């Protein structure tokens, strides 16, 4: 059976939820992945009545939902907090902006998100973690002894209580491995797992778009973490677009022609999705393929529609037979 194709609502949070749902259905999607911002899924309001009403709205439009996402609040759990965070966090999380206060309130919100996810009937919360050591990604001046290790210890200390609550609720936390997070490639993802002692509630929201332009083996990531792929984003990127900037972006805004890399509508970048589908089949991943659509040079409704068709055509079930064995059939 084909995996459900869903649309992540994060890039559509400017629209009221019901408007977004109508559009997602008209684009051809089986369901949606709801971001915990805008009015799409509000953790602070998510009692059972609220969750039941959201489910009824999804049913009205004939749509599934397998995951909610808390990228913005999750970012604040381990980050070095500054004024940038005020623009992405609810006022009740940012508060007076005192960094440790923000981190602690964000951590408590993630625990509440696990509880809300259970009430809503999903078993995966996608999100970010932030990182206290991202600014040390390029080691000059040379990083001091233990600086990096202490960053992973900080992550482990802050996320262990969160993950314990997730486990209690029967919900998984799926980190989207991504620059500015505690894990941004294969090596750092291994280190993050070790920092939380391979906690059973911790895994990954696989998104190849953040690996390709870095030169990371995005097919190999699936195979290495085969038992930790809790959710999948279908998102594309292209690179080698300009010789003026590199992978760090040159402080050039997204969707400018002199960027080295940029996000593209699914199927229009350099990600080899055929390899991804085959790797997902090999690890028996049966969850949704969730389109996270982003392409600053294309109308989003056109892009979301063509991305749905692209993913649906690309996906296929794995084989149940060994073909050479057929020669022995009598």
Compute the distance between CA of residue 196 and CA of residue 103 in angstroms, rounded to an integer: 18
Q: Which two tokens stand for residue 304?
A: 């979301």
What's the pLDDT tens digit per position in 104-149?
Answer: 999 999 999 999 999 999 999 999 999 999 999 999 999 999 999 9
> Domain limits of the chain?
5-328
Distance CA 36, CA 113 (A): 9
pLDDT band, residue 20 (cuts 50/70/90): very high
Confidence band (pLDDT; 50, 70, 90) for 330? low
Give 199's DSSP letter.
Answer: -
Query: What does the buried/exposed string (b/e) look like for 152-173 if buried means 16 or more CB atoms within 10 Å of the residue's CB?
Result: bebbbebbeebbebbbebebbb
Asked if pLDDT for residue 44 goes beyond 70, the answer is: yes
Q: What is the mean pLDDT of the chain?
A: 96
**3-class SS at 120?**
helix
Q: What is the pLDDT of residue 317?
A: 87
Q: Where residue 1 falls among pLDDT bands split at 50, 70, 90? A: low
319 pLDDT band, cuts 50/70/90, is confident
Say if residues 204 and 229 touch (Cβ distance below 8 Å): yes
CATH topology of domain 5-328: TIM Barrel (3.20.20)
165-220: per-residue pLDDT in tens?
Answer: 999 999 999 999 999 999 999 999 999 999 999 999 999 999 999 999 999 999 99
What confidence tens digit (pLDDT) does each residue in 216-274 have?
999 999 999 999 999 999 999 999 999 999 999 999 999 999 999 999 999 999 999 99
Whole-number Å distance between alpha carbons of 163 and 111? 8
Please give the model's pTM, rounded to 2 decimal places: 0.96
């Amino acid at each position: 059976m084909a995996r459900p194709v869903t649309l992540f609502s994060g890039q559509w949070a400017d629209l009221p939820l019901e408007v977004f749902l109508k559009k997602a259905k008209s684009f051809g999607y089986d369901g949606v992945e709801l971001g915990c911002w805008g009015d799409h899924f509000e953790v602070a309001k998510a009692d059972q009545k609220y969750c039941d009403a959201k489910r009824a709205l999804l049913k009205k439009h004939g749509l599934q939902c397998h995951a909610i996402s808390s990228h913005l609040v999750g970012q604040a759990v381990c980050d070095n907090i500054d004024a940038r965070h005020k623009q992405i966090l609810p006022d009740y999380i940012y508060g007076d902006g005192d960094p440790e206060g923000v981190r602690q309130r964000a951590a408590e919100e993630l625990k509440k998100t696990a509880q809300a996810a259970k009430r809503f009937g999903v078993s995966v919360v996608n999100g970010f973690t932030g990182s206290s050591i991202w600014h040390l990604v390029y080691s000059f001046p040379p990083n001091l002894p233990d600086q990096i290790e202490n960053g992973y210890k900080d992550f482990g200390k802050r996320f262990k209580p969160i993950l314990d609550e997730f486990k209690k609720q029967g919900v998984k936390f799926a980190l989207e491995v991504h620059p500015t997070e505690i894990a941004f490639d294969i090596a750092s993802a291994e280190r993050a797992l070790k920092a939380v002692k391979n906690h059973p509630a911790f895994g990954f929201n696989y998104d190849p778009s953040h690996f390709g332009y870095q030169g990371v083996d995005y097919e190999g990531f699936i195979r290495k973490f085969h038992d930790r792929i809790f959710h999948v984003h279908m998102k594309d990127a292209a690179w080698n677009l300009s010789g003026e900037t590199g992978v760090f972006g040159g402080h050039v805004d997204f969707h400018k022609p002199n960027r080295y890399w940029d996000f593209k509508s699914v199927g229009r970048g350099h990600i080899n999705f055929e390899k991804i589908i085959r790797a997902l089949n090999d690890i028996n991943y049966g969850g949704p393929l969730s389109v996270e659509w982003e392409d600053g040079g294309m109308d989003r409704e056109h892009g979301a529609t063509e991305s749905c068709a692209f993913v649906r055509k690309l996906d296929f079930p794995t084989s149940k037979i060994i073909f050479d064995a057929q020669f022995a059939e009598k």
